[in-house]
Structure 1
């Protein structure tokens, strides 16, 4: 694993996903409290294993991908965040999902903010998008709190989805 891809915040350690994370990822992705409203919904163990294989390859192919989020120092798995190409072609998207027990502590903002900065500053991405249901005020608050701005909306599965974006300033 490239140490350049490991991120540290005041309270969290973000590490690119690896095979060692499979059990944690299967647990969070099969939990409807966390993944029911994520793109693609709740995953089976086999779907999560397939996604993990693709996510590992994405790091080498693109220089960005999905991280696990763990509390510092040496703390437990609290969720995931990352950057990945949206399947609908809307761009490279920021995503995050945390266990309910980890919510309300500022971890989502901390981790998503670190992922967003990585995308712009280290991966060289000029534009990063994110999508949240209009009714998902927690995610919308995180996205606004890390500097993303609402830029579009669309309907998906009977829900109004809001698109946010972050545009990197050109280097001077």
Structure 2
């Protein structure tokens, strides 16, 4: 993976997750106070390790995935994409920021950069789910350039009033890394 997949902004550094991030990721995923949305939700060490293996395989297979997000050199969370388990040919945007780093602007910046990286890497369709009352997730996904769509959510096939489906679509560019 190396530096070619890292993203540096004025405030953040995003690096593809690696085994060196495991302890930080375990703490993040064990915290009920995390801001954001990860597909697995709050989980124990064994599940965090399984998620890490999936993240590493996604990076290796697709050249995109989850980033460890650092602010001033300190791990503050995760942001990135994973292949959707509910919608074929889509990737799902996810982010999670530690409670002590609750800054919607940082979450939005990390998510925006991860989304742009995924699209530049050849991912055409990215989706994200947010509860209607989750104002932070809605601000982050909307601020990253994702739009709410009227497509039914996969939970019941008819949509749910309490779940919003966001999407971002970019046509695949010649020379893109995926597939």
TM-score, scaled to structure 1 = 0.88
The structure-2 alpha-carbon separation of the partners of 1:104 and 1:16, relative to structure 1 and needing over 3 Å to count, comes to same
Matched, 1:139 2:149: no
The structure-2 alpha-carbon separation of the partners of 1:54 and 1:38, relative to structure 1 and needing over 3 Å to count, comes to closer
* Coordinate RMSD, CA, aligned: 2.3
Structure 2 unaligned segments of length 5 or more: list them. Answer: 175-179
Structure 1 unaligned segments of length 5 or more: list them. Answer: none
Offset at residue 154 of structure 1 (A): 3.3
Matched, 1:108 2:107: yes
The structure-2 alpha-carbon separation of the partners of 1:32 and 1:165, relative to structure 1 and needing over 3 Å to count, comes to same
What are the Cα deviations for residues 95-125 of structure 1, in whole angstroms up to 9, with x where unaligned?
100012211251101100000110112x111
The structure-2 alpha-carbon separation of the partners of 1:105 and 1:35, relative to structure 1 and needing over 3 Å to count, comes to closer
TM-score, scaled to structure 2 = 0.85
Offset at residue 156 of structure 1 (A): 4.9
Aligned length in residues: 169
Offset at residue 159 of structure 1 (A): 7.7
Matched-pair contact (CA < 8 Å) for 1:5–1:16: yes
Distance between the aligned counterparts of 2:167 and 2:35, measured in 1?
A: 22
Q: Secondary structure at the match of 2:118?
A: helix
> Which stretch of structure 1 is more off in the superposition, 138-147 or 153-162?
153-162
Counterpart of 1:164 in structure 2 is 166
Task: Return the structure number with greater relative CO, CA threshold 8 A, min gap 6.
Answer: 2
Offset at residue 169 of structure 1 (A): 5.0
Counterpart of 1:120 in structure 2 is 119
